[in-house]
Amino acid sequence: MFVRALMGMGKVPYYHKMQYSTVLTKIDIEAKIIEQIKAFSKGDKTQLKKDSKFDELKMDSLDIVELVCEIEDSFGIDLTNEEAEKVLSVPSAVDVFHSFLVKNNKAK
């Protein structure tokens, strides 16, 4: 949507970015997390499966912290430290992020 705003004496155009409230499913969340792990992982990406543990993907604790931060940014959320510490594998990442998003009415 194009909106004109008045600033000072002149008219300055700006675009209003519409934000849509999308409710994600667990499958959507899993797909997004796997996509990010593929982009982030230093190990063999062909070894990545839905049940992979991060240590199997040659990710150390710092890598996992950085990955969790990337995933948080992609969903626009901020996990507590306790929640983030539970993320040790693909399934645990999906479960933690899904639970958080459901709790905050952003997923079903």
Which tens digits make up the pLDDT trace of 32-50?
999 999 988 777 788 899 9
Helix/strand/coil for 21: coil
Burial of 18 (0-12, 13-18, 19+ CB in 10 A): exposed
Q: Which residues of 77-98 are buried (b: 16+ CB within 10 A; e: fewer)?
A: eebeeebbeebebbeebbbbbb
Name the active-site residue from 28, 55, 60, 78: 60
Domains in the chain, CATH or no CATH each: 22-103 (1.10.1200.10)
| pLDDT on residue 77 | 93
Q: pLDDT digits over 63-105, tens only? A: 999 999 999 999 999 999 999 999 999 999 999 999 999 998 8
pLDDT at 17 over 70: no
| The model's pTM | 0.75
| pLDDT on residue 19 | 39
Q: Are 4 and 11 in contact (CB under 8 A)?
A: yes
CB under 8 Å to 98, separation ≥6 — which residues? 26, 29, 107
Portion of the chain with pLDDT greater than 70, in percent: 80
> pLDDT tier at 12 (50, 70, 90 boundaries)?
very low
- Asked about 60 being catalytic, the answer comes back as yes
Per-chain mean pLDDT for the chain = 80
